[in-house]
Structure formats: C-alpha cells, structure tokens
C-alpha cells in the first residue's frame, strides 16, 4: 500500500494530487474546500476518480437533501478507506462500512458489521465542525457520492434500522432493542411477516411496502406503501389472539422486519406483462402474479 503523506491537509494541493502525491493522513475534503484553497470542481474531480461508481442510473431511490434532516446524519457517508489496488470502502459516522467500490466503479454493499477494511488508509468527507445537518457544503459532498454510487435507498433502509437501534455501534456492539421491539407478541408478528412475505422495504421507491394482497382486495391490487389501515388491521389481529399490541409498536415491528428484508418492486410497463418482485438483497428477480400476493 502507498503510505499516506505526513503533510497536513492545508499543505496538500490539487496539483499535488494530480501529480500523484499520496493523500495526507486523514485528509478532510470539507477543509480542503472551506479553508485551504481547493475549488469545488477540484475536490469533486478527486472524489469521482477515487469513488467512480456506475450505479447512479440504476433506478433506485435517491437521497434528497430533506432526507438528511429527517433521517439523521450518522448513517450518511463520513469517509472512505482506500487500498493499493484502488478499492475504496465507504463508511458512515459510526465507522460501519456501507459499500466497496472498485476501480471499474462496481459497487458492492457490505454488512455494517464487516471489519476487514479497517486497516485501510482513510479520507474523510467532513469533520465534526461541519456536520451535514448544519453545513451545506458537507451535504453537497455527501449528496454527490450518494447519487453517484446509487446509495439513496440503502441509506434510507439503514436509517430505519438506526432509529430502531438495530445497527451496531462503532465498537461493533448491538444496542438494546427499544421497548416496542421487546413486547411478548413481537416474535409472533415477525414470524408471520417473514413467513407470508407481507411487508418489505422497496429498494426502488425507498419506502416500506405491503407486498402481499389483503384478502378483501380485488385483482387489480398491487404492492403499495404501508398505511394506517394496515397497522390497525395487524393490531386487531393480534388483539383477537389475546395479545396487547399498540399501533406504535406494530408500526415499529413492520419497519424493522421490512428494512431487514428488502425487496425490489418493478411494476410492469405493459398491461399484459407481469410485475417483477425480487425479495431479499441477494434474491434473483422473480415474477409473481397478483393472485400470489394474497395474504
């Protein structure tokens, strides 16, 4: 591996990078622009070169600026580690890996618990003095990487898991589940949702969908975002079994299971063609008739 330069960020210029000089240790992209004379287009050129990406046109949900505010910033890209072979690993504020990017721009999602990348030299998009929640340039740097690498839906999915304390901390420790996910009826509901494939997080729309058709629904029914009626129906079903479930708790379980088992829903473009629904992060795309979605 190429050893990082000992020069601080302030003494490292865009020309240095163009001439092949190693990036400084813990180089901070935001500081290079805000304090040390790098132009926006120069830092963008460097990031595009290191994190090329070929996924921006893959049709997945995009991560808009408002999503950063509503979902928090700890799941957003914080920096990347880079290896001598040109492979980069993007990580979030808790140092959980998000994805790896090779020199061809191929993006591979990584489990947040993966540890093998941690020895890599690191470059940071920002520091704690320029958190994305408050700093426009930081949001621009993050947004560019997210769009280029096609990470919008994955970050929304992780934001749900983070909110429900289902992602590990920086030290790899799983936090204690919130009370809503520790109720006695939760395992039964999780079993039904998984076993019957009722709800899932859609990587195309970036939303939690109901993907199994309700019994009373007509033939024209198609997967759609979860609504209050879905939650109320589950609460009623659990209470009919003597389980004291709340709407808030049921909604949390639906989000948790759906985000843990994503799908890709692609509505048919022609009337006589089947919709396509791929269940699971590694599942092959499969075709389902609307009858097969009946609960």
- Same structural domain, 153 and 27: yes
For 57, the domain range is 9-163
Same structural domain, 144 and 236: no
The more confidently predicted of residues 12 and 69 is 12
One domain, residues 133 and 183: no
Helical H segments across 60-119, by residue range = 65-71
Query: Which of 58-67, 105-114, 122-131, 203-212 has the least mean pLDDT?
Result: 58-67
Residue 103: CA atoms inside 13 Å, Cβ hemisphere, count? 4
- Per cent of the chain over pLDDT 90 is 44
Q: Is the pLDDT of residue 250 over 60?
A: yes
Q: Is residue 13 located within the same domain as residue 158?
A: yes
Domain boundary among 105, 137, 163: 163
| 243 and 134, same domain (yes or no) | no
Mean pLDDT across the chain: 82
Q: What is the mean pLDDT of residues 245-259?
A: 95
Compare 69 and 211 and report the one with higher pLDDT.
211
At 18, which helix (H) or strand (E)? helix 14-18
Q: Which residues contact 122 (CB under 8 A, 6 or more apart)?
A: 26, 79, 80, 81, 82
pLDDT on residue 118: 74
Residue 9 confidence (pLDDT): 54
What is the band of 66 on the pLDDT scale with cuts at 50, 70, 90? low
168 domain-assigned: no
CA dihedral of 184, 71, 176, 193, whole degrees rounded to 10? 30
pTM, two decimal places: 0.82
CA distance 261 to 202: 9
Residue 2 placed within a domain: no
Do 27 and 119 sit in the same domain of this protein? yes
My answer on whether 25 and 141 are in the same domain is: yes
Angle at 15 between CA 11 and CA 17, to 5 degrees: 80
pLDDT band at residue 22 using 50, 70 and 90 as cut-offs: confident
Q: Domain tally for the chain?
A: 2
Q: pLDDT tens digits, residue range 23-57? A: 888 899 999 988 888 999 999 999 999 888 765 44
Q: Is residue 228 part of a domain?
A: yes
Task: Give the chain's length.
Answer: 295
The answer as to whether 150 is a domain residue is yes
Question: Residue 175: which residues within 8 A CB-CB, separation 6 or more?
Answer: 165, 168, 169
The answer to whether residue 171 sits within a structural domain is: no
Mean pLDDT of 112-125: 83
Query: How big is the chain by its Cα radius of gyration, in Å?
Result: 22
126 and 24 in one domain?
A: yes
Q: Is residue 64 part of a domain?
A: yes
Separation CA 175–CA 133 (nearest Å): 24
- Render pLDDT for 255-287 as a digit per residue (tens, 0 to 9): 999 999 998 887 766 565 556 677 754 333 333
53 and 138 belong to one structural domain: yes
**145 and 104 both lie in a single domain:** yes
The reported pLDDT for the residue numbered 23 is 87
| Span 150-166, pLDDT tens digits | 888 899 999 999 999 99
Tens-place pLDDT, residues 138-152 = 999 998 999 888 888
Domain presence at residue 136: yes
Same domain as 138, residue 95: yes
- The answer on 15 and 153 residing in a single domain is yes
Strand order in the sheet with 27-28: 27-28, 121-124, 77-82, 88-92, 97-101, 107-109
- Does a structural domain hold residue 63? yes
pLDDT band at 14 (very low <50, low <70, confident <90, very high): very high
Whole-number pLDDT of residue 15: 92
pLDDT at 168 over 80: yes
């Amino acid at each position: 591996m190429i050893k990082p330069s000992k020069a601080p960020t302030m003494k490292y210029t865009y020309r240095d990078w163009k001439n092949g000089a190693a990036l400084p240790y813990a180089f901070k992209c935001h500081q290079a622009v805000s304090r040390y004379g790098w132009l926006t287009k120069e830092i963008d050129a460097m990031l595009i070169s290191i994190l090329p990406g070929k996924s921006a046109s893959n049709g997945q949900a995009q991560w808009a600026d408002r999503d950063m505010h509503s979902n928090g910033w700890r799941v957003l890209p914080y920096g990347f580690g880079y290896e001598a072979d040109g492979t980069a690993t993007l990580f979030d504020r808790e140092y959980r890996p998000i994805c790896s990017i090779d020199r061809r721009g191929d993006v591979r999602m990584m489990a947040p618990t993966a540890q093998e990348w941690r020895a890599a030299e690191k470059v940071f998009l920002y520091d704690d003095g320029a958190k994305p929640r408050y700093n426009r340039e930081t949001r621009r740097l993050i947004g560019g990487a997210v769009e280029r690498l096609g990470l919008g839906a994955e970050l929304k999915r992780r934001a749900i898991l983070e909110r429900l304390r289902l992602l590990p901390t920086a030290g790899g420790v799983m936090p204690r589940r919130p009370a809503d996910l520790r109720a006695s009826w939760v395992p039964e509901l999780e079993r039904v949702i998984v076993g019957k494939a009722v709800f899932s997080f859609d990587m195309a729309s970036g939303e939690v969908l109901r993907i199994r058709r309700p019994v009373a629904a007509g033939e024209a029914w198609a997967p759609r975002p979860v609504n209050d009626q879905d939650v109320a129906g589950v609460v009623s079903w659990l209470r009919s079994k003597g389980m004291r479930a709340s709407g808030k708790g049921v909604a949390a379980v639906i989000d948790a299971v759906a985000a843990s088992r994503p799908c890709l829903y692609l509505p048919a473009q022609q009337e006589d063609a089947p919709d396509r629904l791929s269940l699971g992060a590694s599942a092959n795309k499969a075709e389902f008739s609307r009858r097969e979605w009946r609960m």
